[in-house]
Structure 1
Amino acid sequence: MNIRHYCDQDKNGVIKLWQEDEPTPSPWNDPIEALLKKQIFQPGLIFIAEEGGEVVGTTMAGYDGHRGWIYSVVVDPLHRRKGVAASLLVYAEAELGKLGCVKINLQVRDGNDGAVALYKSLGYSVEPRVSMGKTIEA
């Protein structure tokens, strides 16, 4: 398995992976639109796990100069429990560290206990926060 930065040839594999992970995404999480926007803003923070020329995992990161964020950690079901997600996270953390990031946040969908366990095993902890959001009309 190889962990690396995203390149244009990965587009279809990433979109397929995201669509399979969340078949009915909210409008602001449309895989095609999300990837397009990320390629415009901080394109160097999209990471791929590749095996045999196939995209088997992905994550995105963001950094605003204050905090880093991890988004869209998705691994193909046939490649789960093989260290793919952990490798992607370690890679993303290193890339954020190169930018000067000292604190990384992430959010987990309610009920995704497997993801919570994974993140805890990698040193993340649950912080007492209320996550809020607002949709902005274009």
Structure 2
Amino acid sequence: MNDLLIRHAGVDEAADVLAFWRTAAEGTSVSDDIAGVTALIRRDPEALLLAERDGDLVGTVIAGFDGWRCSLYRLAVRPDMRRRGVSAALLRAAEERFTALGGRRGDAMVLERNEVAHRAWGAAGYVREDHWRRWVKPFV
């Protein structure tokens, strides 16, 4: 997809990203609000990657790196743009970011019930690790 532009999100785009996730992403997070997205972008201005085609937002991924782990969240592609290389381009950009920062392995958060995502992650070379489970504790 040669006409695809991958770029970093700006703080002023938080509302647009949240609206996009409501139509293109599965599930919600405690951080799915203006404050959460804005905090992410302010803390790490290169973490939230956007894919645009002809000026329209068609995909996102969060590529967070804390110096230890390369974490991938919110890989989302607009439904009418799926299977056209958008997620592959976003993951390539995320992996290039991680490699440049010294990252060694990408870890993706993927919903158990999201079979479409399982296929997309598998096609990108990611494998499921069944011996780990996520443990969480909400702070709010």
Report the TM-score when normalising by structure 1: 0.88
Q: Map 1:12-31 to 2 at 5 A.
A: 12-21=15-24, 25-26=28-29, 28-31=30-33
SS in 1 for 2:104: coil
Question: Could you say what the CA RMSD is over the residues aligned between the two structures, in angstroms?
Answer: 1.9
The answer for unaligned runs of 5 or more in structure 2 is none
Q: 2:41 aligns with which of 36, 39, 42?
A: 39
- Is 1:7 aligned to 2:16, yes or no? no
1:20 is displaced (CA, Å) by 2.1
Moved over 4 A (4+): none
The structure in which a higher percent of residues are helix is 1
Aligned residues: 136
- Where 1:43 maps in the other structure, the secondary structure is coil
CA-CA distance at 1:22 after TM superposition: 5.4
Deviation of 1:131 after TM superposition, in Å, equals 1.2
1:104 corresponds to? 106
Percent identity between the two aligned chains: 30
Q: Deviations over 1:100-122 (max 9, x none)?
A: 00111011111111111111111
> Aligned partner of 1:52: which letter?
D
How far off is 1:81 after superposition? 1.1
> Equivalent of 1:131, from 131, 134, 138?
134
